[in-house]
Amino acid sequence: MSTARTFSPALRAPRRTFLADVGLGCAGLALGDLLARDGVTRAAEPAIDSSASVTQSTPKAKSVIWVFLSGGVSHLETFDPKPALNDHAGKTYDQTPFPNPQKLPIFLERSRSVVGIDREVVSTIMPLQVGYKKRGAAGIEVSDWLPHLGEVVDELAIVRSMYTTDNDHGAEFQMHTGRHFLDEQLPSVGSWVSYGLGSLNDNLPQFVFLGQYKDTRVKKNFDADYLGPAHAGIELSLDPQNPLPFGTRAAGVSAREQQNELAFLRRLNGLSAVEYPEDDQLRARIRAYELAYRMQMSAPEVLNLAEETAETQQLYGIDQPATEIYGRRLLAARRLAERGVRFSLVYLSDYGEWDSHNDLKNLHARSCGRVDKPLAGLIRDLKRRGLMDDVLVVCTTEFGRTPALELTSFTKSGTGRDHHPHGFTIWMAGAGVKRGFVHGTTDEFGFHAVEHPHYVTDIHATTLHLMGLDPRRLDIPGRKRLDVDYGKVMTEILT
């Protein structure tokens, strides 16, 4: 049986190494099987220049809870309502006193089509599908679909001037990696955090993924790419009896037996590491197997949400069917952050759930109802536990929805909005960011980000900055990054 290990031509195994491999052939087969099942044909972990610091300042945040809403949330019906849409409903852009946003140079400057069609050809303005109110001491406009988040809006820093360049759902991966779908991919932002920072808890991973998905492309959002498997996100199940889909003991194997097996493998791996000092893949996987074993002991306790009081569970909406699963994911993320997990990517949607090309009024109302109470519960829980100074919450989506109704060959109902990368909203809360603050604006129709426009990597730069990392010091020799990949810190929203 061949293994996945490869070696430099300069590394020729001496006679004693050959004999050792032959003598320990059974163990080698076992390790080879583990490596093969784990799909080890991936990038080796890059060498880190210990003389070059990747930190830039004292960090404001110790952990990040990165919430993602897949499919494209309408900024117009959530945090950036535009009364002009109601005033000019049914008109085209040219029939209003405002410039036609599709004819401005910025429209093409920020666009890069993947699907090969102009998704913005429709210009019949669609009115708002929900009301809104000014909420909190700051009087921030928030949709009536988000009453619970409206009650905690004074804790949020809302950025209404985001844009991206992908007009299709590759924008989801662009939000996490910073690269357009047509270009070479980069490691995800969670992997950069893992790469740049040391662990706070050796019994838990630095980067976890909480969610379910049917489209396997979602794995790109927690993939380490060329940083190597040691910095990829680890999928966790919310079942405390089976938290690791990849690490469950085989039937009939006791914890003591597994511990003895791993101890034996650890001894053999140590011998192999001496014989093959340049095998980075082997070292990375040895660490992963050891972490998986430790996690079998620690992860069940972390994910045992029954330890929380009934009042806390109700705060997240776990007692209600519509909000139970998302409430559980966010409560688990809080418990992970408390125990030193650096970065939790939490999906609060099914894949593409917010993609409301039709029936936006009912579909968005339903999705808002699923996330509103759990997200507000997280903010309240962090605040009452004194964690707002340690944990950064980032809530993002891939793009917004068009001010115009969608009436094309794709859909003829006129009840939804199309993909809109030119202007949309995200929000942050917690460590290092201002509270009850709105940054940036879109135009009268919510079409273009016009004041303080921010490309998606500005979110990355701001997150890394608050974790004490300098994006430009996270370069890997031989790996080219564009200037836009580094992003710019949104200093205006920082305390």
pLDDT for residue 59 is more than 50: yes
Coil, strand or helix: which one is 140? strand
- Reported as half-sphere exposure (CB side, CA atoms, 13 A), residue 335 has a value of 24
Q: How far apart are the first and last CA of the chain?
A: 58
In this prediction, residue 91 carries a pLDDT of: 95
In this prediction, residue 106 carries a pLDDT of: 87
Alpha carbon of 192 to those of 114, 213, 370, 454: distances in Å? 26, 23, 30, 20
Computed on alpha carbons and rounded to an integer, the radius of gyration of the chain in Å comes to: 24
Q: Summarize the confidence of residues 376-390 as an average pLDDT.
A: 97
In this prediction, residue 31 carries a pLDDT of: 47
C-alpha to C-alpha distance for 276 and 92, rounded to whole angstroms: 68
CB 464 within 8 A of CB 172: no
CB 421 within 8 A of CB 111: yes
- Comparing 247-256, 426-435, 454-463, the range with the smallest average pLDDT is 247-256
Give a three-class secondary structure readout of 89-114.
Answer: CCCEHHHCCCCCHHHCHHHHHCCECC
pLDDT for residue 11 is more than 80: no
Instruction: Kindly indicate the confidence band of residue 341, based on its pLDDT and cuts at 50, 70 and 90.
Output: very high
pLDDT for residue 413 is more than 80: no
pLDDT for residue 18 is more than 70: no
Instruction: Kindly indicate the confidence band of residue 44, based on its pLDDT and cuts at 50, 70 and 90.
Output: very low
C-alpha to C-alpha distance for 367 and 394, rounded to whole angstroms: 18
pLDDT for residue 51 is more than 80: no
In this prediction, residue 35 carries a pLDDT of: 46
Q: What whole-number percentage of the chain has pLDDT above 90?
A: 60
pLDDT per residue as tens digits for the range 388-412: 999 999 999 999 999 999 876 566 6
Coil, strand or helix: which one is 278? coil
Beta bridge partners, 429, equal 156, 393
H helices then E strands: how many in the chain? 14, 15
Beta bridge partners, 135, equal 140
- Average pLDDT of the chain is 84
Q: Summarize the confidence of residues 160-185 as an average pLDDT.
A: 92
User: pTM for this structure?
Assistant: 0.82
pLDDT for residue 28 is more than 80: no
Instruction: Kindly indicate the confidence band of residue 162, based on its pLDDT and cuts at 50, 70 and 90.
Output: very high
pLDDT for residue 486 is more than 50: yes
* 405, two tokens: 């109704």
Which residue stretches of 204-342 are H helix? 255-275, 280-302, 310-315, 324-338
Instruction: Kindly indicate the confidence band of residue 212, based on its pLDDT and cuts at 50, 70 and 90.
Output: confident
In this prediction, residue 117 carries a pLDDT of: 54
In this prediction, residue 100 carries a pLDDT of: 93
pLDDT per residue as tens digits for the range 85-131: 999 999 999 999 999 998 888 887 777 766 555 555 678 999 999 99
Q: Determine how many CB atoms are found less than 10 A away from the CB of residue 59.
A: 18
pLDDT for residue 414 is more than 90: no
Q: Which amino acid is at 48?
A: I
C-alpha to C-alpha distance for 137 and 140, rounded to whole angstroms: 8
* CATH architecture assigned to 63-241+303-493: 3-Layer(aba) Sandwich (3.40)
C-alpha to C-alpha distance for 17 and 439, rounded to whole angstroms: 62
Domain positions in the chain: 63-241+303-493, 257-298
pLDDT per residue as tens digits for the range 353-365: 999 999 999 999 9
Q: Summarize the confidence of residues 234-258 as an average pLDDT.
A: 67
- Comparing 167-181, 260-274, 332-346, 409-423, the range with the smallest average pLDDT is 260-274
Residue of 62, 7, 32 whose CA lies nearest to 393: 62
In this prediction, residue 458 carries a pLDDT of: 98
pLDDT for residue 27 is more than 50: no
* 447, two tokens: 């079409």
C-alpha to C-alpha distance for 427 and 395, rounded to whole angstroms: 5
pLDDT per residue as tens digits for the range 248-306: 555 566 666 656 766 676 666 666 655 656 566 656 656 655 665 566 666 788 889 99
